[in-house]
Amino acid sequence: MVRAGWFSPGALLLVMLGGAVGVAARAVVTVPLGVLPHPLVVPAATLAINLAGSLLLGVVVGAFDDQRPRLRAFLGTGVLGGFTTYSAFAVQSVTVGAAAPLVGLALMAVSLLGGVLCAGVGLHLGRRLAGRSVDAAEPVEAAE
């Protein structure tokens, strides 16, 4: 069940603005690489972007927790949500996998496992930066 009062037009605007920043940052990284002839350049850039974004999202969540919800929405959901891209990862994994199945599987494994690992490291770093305990995870509220 969704909690009452979770939505705010101001938060939505922050997410939209952050998303535009994140998409522009991703384009700055990937568009110039698209002219390079090797077929793995763009998938490698997407992998690096998604791993870096996972790390940074972990830092944002760990550092801000529920203390700065608007900043967390702007940076986490907006900027990092726009910067990272699941859809490009999925298409590139299938495309690479069709030409080189082992490379495609490796790309998928590194993206998924590496993303989770990077998010965990980022969460740890964010909590340390904020002076929070890094040993115990906060309990997650059960959905009703």
pLDDT band at 6 (very low <50, low <70, confident <90, very high): low
Looking at residue 106, its amino acid is A
The verdict on residue 61 lying in a domain is: yes
Structural domain that includes position 61: 39-129
Does residue 1 carry a pLDDT above 50? Answer: no
- With CA atoms as reference, report the closest residue to 62 among 113, 118, 8: 118
The verdict on residue 134 lying in a domain is: no
Q: Is 65 left (phi over 0), alpha (psi -120 to 50) or beta?
A: left
Looking at residue 32, its amino acid is P
Which residue positions form the known binding site for Na(+)?
A: 81, 84
Which residue positions form the known binding site?
A: 81, 84
pTM, to two decimals: 0.85
Nearby residues of 111 by Cβ (< 8 Å), 6 or more positions away: 47, 50, 51, 89, 93
When divided into structural domains, the chain yields a total of: 1
Q: Which two tokens stand for residue 134?
A: 């890094």
| Mean pLDDT, rounded, for 62-79 | 94
| Mean pLDDT, rounded, for 15-25 | 97
Does residue 4 carry a pLDDT above 80? Answer: no
